[in-house]
Structure 1
Amino acid sequence: MKRPQFLRWLAASACAATLLPVPAAAQTWPARPIRIIVPFAAGGSADVYARFLAQRLPDLLGQPVVVENRPGAGAVIGTEAVAKSPADGYTLLLMSNTHTVNETLVPNRPYNLTRDFVAVAPINYADLILAAHPSVPANNVREVLKLAKERPGKLNYASSGTGTPYHMAGELFKSMSSTYLVHIPYKGSSGARTDLLGGQVDLMFDAVTTMVEQVKSGKVKAIATTGKQRSVVLPDVPTVHESGIPNYEATIWLGLLAPKGTPAPVVNRLNEAVSKIVSQPDVQQGWAKQGATAMVMNPQAFDKYVHEDIEKWAKLIKAAHIKAD
């Protein structure tokens, strides 16, 4: 083909590409209310941030956004409901890293994150804190590790249940420091927290925002926080990473998924809307006071992030032989 003919062909091809049909559903989306299913109980951080988005998304999408709580079976019930929903952008899943842990911990799930969902957008992450009862004779990570070795099989830590981010933070701590701590799982954070305050348990990994007032009042001791950098809420408390366990990081993060097959234009529009909301200075400043940091990624980057988190916890679960209750 001669060069002038080739250029004409190339131009015609480019024009034709721009005229490729976009699915009708994507063209008219959204034409009705959107649901965000939260597979956790009302009142928790996942529910709070889902409702925050539901308040702001209508301004950008032009349709109401409603939140529906479907807790139960370690987030399986609500997650399965979204996996079986039409892939039309009207039903979304509010996920957390509980889901990436469950990919390995709960082998008989009726869904698979990578097979049945498409990544939409991350929302935010929050650091945890390793807190100790005042009676525990340790004030930093090195002293906790020393105490654990001096009292083999006696030093313990509470969590809100097997497979939760609080439990996995403890298991990662144990694995990366080659230290044994006895895990005491509870059915929810409140019971674990109550027993930590009462001295029935020694340690607990908990949300910074939940524990900050207890630290300031002296009811618990702040041993370390779990993020890459120090928490804005507790800037004087060192991270586990800088306290003797290099590269340690364990946070709670949230994001949105949609059923596999949801049109890319719909996913991209949702991602743009969520990213715009979480990038607003007033949002980031307000979240920082709560110990949360906004996350902004395109769908492809968030998909990679989810896959890497699945792999991170899969290695730990298999190495530590962790089993679901």
Structure 2
Amino acid sequence: MLAAAGAVLTAAAVPAIAQGVKFPEAGQTLRLIVPFAAGGGVDSAARLLGEQLRKQHGLTVVVENKPGASGSIGGKAVQTAPPDGATLLFSAATHVLANHVLSTPPYDPQTDFAPVARVGEAPLLLVVAPTVPASTLKEVLVAAKAKQGQWTAAIPAAGAPSHLGTLLLAKQGDVKLTYVNYKGTQPALTDVAGGHVDMLFDSMISLLPLAKAGKVKPIAISSKQRSPLAPEIPTLQESGLAQYSYESWYGVWAPKATPPERVAALNAVINQAVAELGKSGAFARIGVEPVMESPEQFRRYIAADVVQSVELLRSAGFRPE
């Protein structure tokens, strides 16, 4: 969505763990709370990270799924955990907008958590129903403008990258859409495949299987470059929206009062694991581009991301649910 607050570092630039810091030690158990159901993109990325931390650093990482309430159930479990760095939240961009999309948010994600590391980015894929008479972005925009306000877009979750990416697409494409809310990607995708909704813009890794099976029509992806997972699908930029750039992202947070030296130590081992996941191609296989930043770079990235996201929600007339 945004240029990283700091440069995306190479593996060689990943800082070593500060000398004298005994955390985390080999054999120690870390709990990685995923606030979504098992099997999704966030869960898959979390489990790859946990396994890599085991291999590289001898840590035992237990991934726990605590879905519900737009990710806030899992978030609350981490916010209220002992601030010793042993319980961490692995979530997506959705986490940082909790107090803007929920009418009664249980916390402020910017002030009630300690950012540890942003670990990856992933493009979104725009698909349309097989009944839609359009196969390119230009044709989609023409069709949507011909039915201004009647063209329907599925929204899997309020404030999620799919929601914000769709709002940005409507803004830059100068079209008015009718948004249809769903509880997750799968029911939204099912309705698009069935021709009940015109389009869906969501995680590429989640939509690609049905697109390759011909159940929905792939139109374009949101990243600046084409994806090696589907090089035949063009980007939105090369399809006519020259300024469009938006990607989902994943990160790790600790409870707010976690000592800074423990946050720094966690950041170092996570960055080292992410570098290896990038080098081995494990992240690429699930459509994730590795990112390595310091905690402060991650904090600044979040602040800029929230400003842009809130403006998109405001301009669309969104009201917290």
- Name the TM tier (shorter chain): 0.7 to 0.9
Give % identity.
36
Structure 2 counterpart SS, 1:243: coil
Tell me the amino acid that sits aligned with residue 276 of structure 2: Q
Q: CA deviation at 1:282?
A: 6.4
Residues 1:299 and 2:267 aligned together? no
Return the offset for 1:56.
Answer: 2.4
Structure number with greater CO (CA < 8 Å, separation at least 6) is 2
Residue 70 in structure 1 maps to residue 66 in structure 2? yes
- What are the residue-to-residue correspondences of 1:52-91 with 2, within 5 Å? 52-91=48-87
Comparing 260-269 with 208-217, greater Cα deviation is found at 208-217
Q: Distance in 1 between matches of 2:155 and 2:280?
A: 28
Residues 1:29 and 1:222: Cα distance change in structure 2 (over 3 Å): closer
Amino acid at match of 1:238: P
**What residue identity is the alignment partner of 2:106?**
P
Q: Does 1:225 align with 2:195?
A: no
Contact 2:99 2:107 in 1 (8 A): no
Unaligned runs of 5+ in 1: 1-21
Q: By how many angstroms is 1:120 displaced?
A: 0.7
Given that 1:232 and 1:289 are in contact with CA atoms closer than 8 Å, whether structure 2 keeps it comes out as no
How many angstroms apart in 1 are the aligned matches of 2:223 and 2:71? 24
Whether 2:90 is the aligned partner of 1:97: answer no
CA RMSD of aligned residues (A): 2.2
- Does 1:181 pair with 2:170? no
Matched, 1:260 2:256: yes
After superposition, the Cα gap between the structure-2 partners of 1:108 and 1:227, relative to the gap in structure 1 and judged at 3 Å, is same
Question: Where does residue 131 of structure 1 map in the other structure?
Answer: 127
SS at match of 1:241: coil
**1:157 correspondence with 2:153:** yes
Counterparts of 1:50 and 1:240 in 2: how far apart (Å)? 28
- In the aligned structure 2, how far is the partner of 1:246 from the partner of 1:103? 32
Which residue is 2:284 aligned to?
288
Say if 1:59 and 1:222 are closer, same or farther in 2 by CA, change over 3 A. closer
In 1: Cα distance, 2:147 partner to 2:226 partner: 29
- Aligned mates of 1:107, 1:153 — CA distance in 2: 26
Give the Cα separation in 2 of the matches to 1:259 and 1:53. Answer: 19
Note the C-alpha offset of 1:294. 1.0
TM-score, normalised to structure 2, is: 0.87
Distance of aligned partners of 1:101 and 1:67 in 2 relative to their CA distance in 1, 3 Å threshold: same
Query: Could you say what secondary structure the match of 1:74 adopts?
Result: helix
1:198 aligns with 2:219: no
Q: Secondary structure at the match of 1:36?
A: strand
1-structure distance, mates of 2:222, 2:232: 13
Q: Is this contact kept in 2: 1:33–1:64, CA < 8 A?
A: yes
> In structure 2, what is the Cα distance between the partners aligned to 1:105 and 1:213?
30
Which TM-score applies when normalising by structure 1? 0.86
Deviation at 1:167, TM superposition (A): 1.9
- 1:49: which partner in 2? 45
3-state DSSP of counterpart to 1:118: strand
* Partner in structure 2 of residue 16 of structure 1: none
Deviation, 1:164, is 2.4
In our comparison, the structure showing a higher alpha carbon Rg is: 1
The AA in structure 1 aligned to 2:51 is: Q
Distance 1:239 1:282, change over 3 A: closer
